[in-house]
């Protein structure tokens, strides 16, 4: 009979994700992962596989959590335009981990590894496509209601907004002023105006 696991794999995966998010894939050692996850190396290998397998699982975990969060936020208002304004403002604020501005885990990964690893690039693209689908549905609804400009197709606007969010998350790592982010968000959202 197999010995029961004495830890929650999602909790351990979330901890690994945070280390990779803060440090990047290349700078994260197995010692870092052991210390943060509170697991011995053999347990990490048994449950998650090698470092790359663990990293891919952490990316998928981030994607699932991130897309679910965006979908939930996009239903907070009856107005599609208000929902988009809300999520863009939230995403433009950046992510703080232990007081550090860490940008977006997917954007960071795209910059670090997408040129060298097709499987990781595919995982990054899946998240961007899923977010684009979420945004496109809300934009299309807003266009039908006359709230959002029809100058561009919903899919084109969604791509633009996702690209802008990625830009905000990369810019976040340079510690921009709140005023600079506010101005950029206003310009970005102006494409939705009728």
pLDDT tens string 105-122: 998 999 999 999 999 999
3-class SS of residue 194:
coil
What pTM was computed for the model?
0.87
Task: Tell me which DSSP letter residue 6 carries.
Answer: S
Q: What per-residue confidence (pLDDT) applies to 6?
A: 43
Taking Cα atoms as reference points, which of 98, 124, 110 lies closest to residue 22? 98
Cα 95–Cα 96–Cα 102 angle in degrees, nearest 5: 70
Question: Which residues on neighbouring strands pair with residue 97, listed in sequence order?
Answer: 100
Q: What per-residue confidence (pLDDT) applies to 98?
A: 57
Can you spell out the DSSP letters for 68-83? Answer: HHHHHHTTSSSSHHHH
Q: What per-residue confidence (pLDDT) applies to 185?
A: 93
3-class SS of residue 101:
strand
Place of tokens 């206003």: 186
Architecture category of domain 56-192 in CATH: Orthogonal Bundle (1.10)
Supply the angle between the helices 9-23 and 51-73 in degrees, to the nearest 10: 90
Give dist(CA 81, CA 99) in Å, integer.
32
The distance from CA 193 to its chain's CA centroid, rounded to whole angstroms, is 26
Convert the pLDDT of each residue in 2-53 to its tens digit.
444 444 788 999 999 999 999 999 999 999 999 999 999 999 999 999 999 9
Q: Residue 75: is its pLDDT beyond 60?
A: yes
Residue 144: band (very low, low, confident or very high) from pLDDT cuts 50, 70, 90: very high
Residues 136-163 have a mean pLDDT of: 97
Structure tokens at 71: 């979908």
Convert the pLDDT of each residue in 76-107 to its tens digit.
999 999 999 999 999 888 765 555 677 789 98
Question: What share of the chain in percent tops pLDDT 90?
Answer: 76
Place of tokens 């945070």: 18
């Amino acid at each position: 009979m197999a010995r029961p696991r004495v830890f929650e794999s999602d909790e351990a995966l979330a901890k690994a994700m945070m280390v990779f998010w803060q440090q990047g894939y290349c700078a994260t050692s197995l010692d870092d992962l052991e210390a943060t996850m509170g697991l011995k190396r053999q347990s990490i290998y048994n449950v998650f596989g090698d470092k790359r397998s663990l990293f891919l699982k952490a990316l998928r975990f981030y994607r699932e959590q991130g897309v679910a969060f965006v979908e939930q936020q996009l239903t907070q208002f009856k107005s599609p335009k208000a929902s988009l304004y809300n999520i863009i403002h939230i995403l433009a604020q950046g992510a703080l981990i232990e007081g550090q501005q860490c940008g977006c885990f997917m954007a960071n990964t795209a910059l670090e590894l997408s040129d060298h690893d097709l499987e990781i690039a595919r995982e990054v693209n899946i998240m961007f496509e899923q977010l684009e689908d979420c945004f496109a549905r809300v934009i299309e609804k807003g266009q039908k209601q006359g709230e959002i400009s029809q100058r561009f197709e919903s899919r084109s606007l969604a791509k633009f907004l996702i690209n802008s969010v990625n830009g905000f998350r990369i810019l976040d790592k340079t510690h921009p002023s709140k005023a600079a982010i506010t101005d950029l968000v206003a310009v970005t959202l102006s494409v939705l105006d009728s």
